[in-house]
Structure 1
Amino acid sequence: MKKKLIYAIMLTSALFVGCNDEFLEGEQTNVLTAEGIAEYSGDYPELLDGSLNGITSLIIEPFGITGSRHFDFGQKMVDIWTDMVSGDMALSGSAYGWYNDAANLIFTVDYTQEENDITWKYYYRIISIANNVIASSGGNDAEPESDEAKRILGQAKIYRAYAYFYLLQLYQGAYDPNQEVLPFFNGDVYSLEKVAAGDIYAQVVSDLTDAIGLLDNYTRTLKSQVDKTVAQGFLAYTYAAMGNFADAKIQADNVIASGYPMTTAGQLAFPGAGSGFNDVNTASWIWGYDLVEDLGHQLVDWWGQIDAFTYSYAWAGDHKSIDDLLYSQIPAGDVRKGQFGTGTAALQPINKFFDPARTIGGQYIITTDLIHMRVEEFYLLSAECAARTGGEPAAKTMMIDFLTPRVGAAEASATITPLSGQALLDEIYLQTRIELWGEGKTFFAMKRNQATVTRGSNHVYRANESFAYDSDEMTFQIPQSEIDNNPSITGQN
Structure 2
Amino acid sequence: MKYLIKISLFIFAAGLVSCSEDYLETRPSNQLSSEDINNAGQSNPEVLDGYLVGLYNTMYTVGSGGTNLRHDDFGQKSWDIYYDMLGSDMVLAGNTYGWYSYIANYTATVDYTTNSSYMPWRYYYRIIRGANTLIGGYDLNALPQDAESRSKLGQGLAIRGYSYLNLMHLYVNDNGDLSSPAVPLMLEANLDALPLSTTGEVYNQIIADLEVAVDLLENGPRSNKRDINKDVARGILGYAYAAVGRNDKAAAVTKAVIDEGNFPLLTAEELAYDMATASGGGFNDVNTPAWMWGQDVTLEMGLDLVSWWGQVDQYTYSYAWAGDPKTIDNDLYAQISSDDVRKKQFVGLGQKKPTGKFYAPDRVSGGQRSVVTDYIYMRIEEMYLLYAETAAKSGAAGGEAGARQALKDLMEIRVEDASYVDALSGQALLDEIRLQTRIELWGEGKSYWSMKRNQETRTRGANHLFFAGESFQYNDPRLTLDIPQSEIQNNPHLD
Q: So what's the TM-score if we normalise by structure 2? A: 0.90
Alignment match of 2:10 (pick from 12, 31, 35): 12
Q: Hey, what does 1:88 align to over in structure 2?
A: 89
Q: Does the CA-based 8 Å contact 2:295-2:376 persist in structure 1? A: yes
Q: Does the CA-based 8 Å contact 2:8-2:53 persist in structure 1? A: no
Q: Does the CA-based 8 Å contact 2:34-2:189 persist in structure 1? A: no
Q: CA deviation at 1:31?
A: 5.8
Q: In 2, distance between residues paired with 1:161 and 1:54?
A: 17
Q: CA deviation at 1:360?
A: 0.3
CA deviations over 1:205-249 (Å, ceiling 9, x no partner): 111111111111213121111111110000000000010100000
Q: Hey, what does 1:128 align to over in structure 2?
A: 129
Alignment match of 1:296 (pick from 270, 291, 302): 302
The DSSP-based 3-state class of the residue aligned with 2:153 is helix
* 2:363 paired with 1:350: no
Q: CA deviation at 1:75?
A: 0.5
Structure 2: gaps (5+ residues): 1-6, 15-27
Residue identity matched to 2:411? L
Structure 1 residues 61 and 152, CA, compared in 2 at 3 Å: closer, same or farther? same
Q: CA deviation at 1:46?
A: 2.2
Q: CA deviation at 1:45?
A: 2.5
> Could you tell which deviates more after superposition, 278-287 or 210-219?
210-219
Q: Does the CA-based 8 Å contact 1:15-1:50 persist in structure 2? A: no
The DSSP-based 3-state class of the residue aligned with 1:382 is helix
Q: Hey, what does 2:57 align to over in structure 1?
A: 57
The DSSP-based 3-state class of the residue aligned with 1:255 is helix
The DSSP-based 3-state class of the residue aligned with 2:327 is strand
Residue identity matched to 2:129? S
Q: Hey, what does 2:443 align to over in structure 1?
A: 438
Q: CA deviation at 1:108?
A: 1.3
Q: Hey, what does 2:20 align to over in structure 1?
A: none
The DSSP-based 3-state class of the residue aligned with 2:125 is helix
Q: CA deviation at 1:113?
A: 1.6
Q: CA deviation at 1:188?
A: 9.3
* 2:340 paired with 1:334: yes
The DSSP-based 3-state class of the residue aligned with 2:136 is helix
The DSSP-based 3-state class of the residue aligned with 2:371 is coil
Alignment match of 2:245 (pick from 236, 243, 246): 243
Q: Hey, what does 1:324 align to over in structure 2?
A: 330
Residue identity matched to 1:286? M
Structure 1 residues 432 and 31, CA, compared in 2 at 3 Å: closer, same or farther? same
Q: Hey, what does 1:472 align to over in structure 2?
A: 477
Q: Hey, what does 1:314 align to over in structure 2?
A: 320
Q: In 1, distance between residues paired with 2:159 and 2:438?
A: 26
Alignment match of 1:265 (pick from 263, 268, 273): 268
Q: CA deviation at 1:41?
A: 2.6
Residue identity matched to 1:316? A
Q: CA deviation at 1:13?
A: 7.4
Structure 1 residues 37 and 219, CA, compared in 2 at 3 Å: closer, same or farther? closer
Q: Hey, what does 2:462 align to over in structure 1?
A: 457
Q: In 1, distance between residues paired with 2:8 and 2:494?
A: 28
Q: Hey, what does 1:402 align to over in structure 2?
A: 410
Residue identity matched to 1:342? G
Structure 1 residues 81 and 15, CA, compared in 2 at 3 Å: closer, same or farther? closer
Q: In 1, distance between residues paired with 2:342 and 2:232?
A: 25
Q: So what's the TM-score if we normalise by structure 1? A: 0.91
Q: Hey, what does 1:371 align to over in structure 2?
A: 376
The DSSP-based 3-state class of the residue aligned with 2:309 is helix
> Could you tell which deviates more after superposition, 322-331 or 216-225?
216-225
Q: Does the CA-based 8 Å contact 2:182-2:202 persist in structure 1? A: no
Q: In 2, distance between residues paired with 1:443 and 1:230?
A: 19
Q: Hey, what does 2:143 align to over in structure 1?
A: 143
CA deviations over 1:162-218 (Å, ceiling 9, x no partner): 101111111111122211211111129966100111111111111111111111121
Q: In 2, distance between residues paired with 1:278 and 1:407?
A: 23
Q: Hey, what does 1:392 align to over in structure 2?
A: 400
The DSSP-based 3-state class of the residue aligned with 2:357 is coil
Q: Does the CA-based 8 Å contact 2:11-2:51 persist in structure 1? A: no
Q: CA deviation at 1:261?
A: 0.3
Q: Does the CA-based 8 Å contact 1:454-1:465 persist in structure 2? A: yes
Number of residue-to-residue matches in the alignment: 466
Q: CA deviation at 1:29?
A: 13
Q: Hey, what does 1:254 align to over in structure 2?
A: 256
Q: Identity percentage over the alignment?
A: 46
CA deviations over 1:302-325 (Å, ceiling 9, x no partner): 001000100121111111000001
Residue identity matched to 1:201? Y
Structure 1: gaps (5+ residues): 1-8, 17-27
Q: Hey, what does 1:79 align to over in structure 2?
A: 80
CA deviations over 1:63-86 (Å, ceiling 9, x no partner): 223122100011100000110011
> Could you tell which deviates more after superposition, 40-49 or 206-215?
40-49
Counterparts of 1:33-48 in structure 2, within 5 Å, are: 33-48=33-48
Structure 1 residues 14 and 479, CA, compared in 2 at 3 Å: closer, same or farther? closer
Q: In 1, distance between residues paired with 2:126 and 2:319?
A: 28
CA deviations over 1:383-429 (Å, ceiling 9, x no partner): 11111123222211221111011002x2x112x23322112111110
Residue identity matched to 2:80? D
Counterparts of 1:114-193 in structure 2, within 5 Å, are: 114-138=115-139, 140-174=140-174, 175-187=176-188, 192-193=194-195
Q: In 2, distance between residues paired with 1:328 and 1:15?
A: 48
Q: In 1, distance between residues paired with 2:295 and 2:372?
A: 10
Structure 1 residues 102 and 29, CA, compared in 2 at 3 Å: closer, same or farther? closer
Q: Does the CA-based 8 Å contact 2:89-2:329 persist in structure 1? A: yes
Counterparts of 1:276-291 in structure 2, within 5 Å, are: 276-291=282-297
Q: In 2, distance between residues paired with 1:14 and 1:239?
A: 32
CA deviations over 1:245-286 (Å, ceiling 9, x no partner): 000001111221232000000110002754221110100000
Q: Does the CA-based 8 Å contact 2:293-2:377 persist in structure 1? A: yes
Q: Does the CA-based 8 Å contact 1:15-1:46 persist in structure 2? A: no
CA deviations over 1:109-153 (Å, ceiling 9, x no partner): 211121110010100011000000011123x33411222111111
